[in-house]
Amino acid sequence: MKIFFLITVLFFVTACTAQNSKNVNSTNMPSDTTKYNSLTPQEENVLLRKATDRPFTGDYFNKKDEGLYICRRCNNPLYRSDDKFDSHCGWPSFDDEIEGSVKRVPDADGFRIEIICTNCGGHLGHVFLGEGFTDKDTRHCVNTSSLRFVSKEEMAKLPNVIH
Ligand SMILES: [Zn+2]
């Protein structure tokens, strides 16, 4: 009798957990990959397989226009042009992110800190601390393939974007 009771409780707990995770996915994160932007093979290599763009390639490492950098995969606003600086490293560099949009995780290499898009989990690059480039002492070294630049004019047309 006791065992039957336990099994019944477990069943309900499991069912409840499954329901919760389903709810989280449908509200916060598009788990259905068809909802994401289509990507080029290089963008897939970077965002999904954590590859790295060759330095000094792409349109953004030297870009100084005013606007917003959003996730190439899911349009999550990641960085403001105000936080971009020239590190001469060959990749777009930012000393701050839009709050809550970038997650830091230990890199598989055991010493670097990987940065991923909080919304879709896409690989962005790495964050380095203590290099002294700017007052914030932080360098988000981001792959151009992970980003899409949106100008001020385009920003005004995008829904749900932080200005
Ligand atoms: Zn994303």
Render 89-156 in DSSP notation, one character per residue.
Answer: SSS-EES---TTSEEEEE-TTSSSEEEEETTT--EEEEEEES--SSTT-EEEEE-GGGEEEEEHHHHH
Q: How many other CB atoms are found less than 10 A from the CB of residue 125?
A: 27
Measured in Å, residue 75 CA sits from the centre of ligand 1 at: 6
What total of structural domains would you count in the chain? 2
In the residue annotation, 120 being an active-site residue is answered as: no
State which residues form the domain around 58: 40-157
Angle at the Cα of 77 from the Cα atoms of 135 and 130, rounded to 5 degrees: 25
Considering the domain architecture, whether residues 141 and 94 belong to the same structural domain is answered as yes
Measured in Å, residue 72 CA sits from the centre of ligand 1 at: 7
Does the global pTM surpass 0.85? no
pLDDT 10s digits, 47-97: 999 999 999 998 899 999 999 999 999 999 999 999 999 999 999 999 999
Evaluate whether residue 31 is within a structural domain.
Answer: no
Residue 129's DSSP bridge partners are: 138
Considering the domain architecture, whether residues 22 and 54 belong to the same structural domain is answered as no
Considering the domain architecture, whether residues 74 and 10 belong to the same structural domain is answered as no
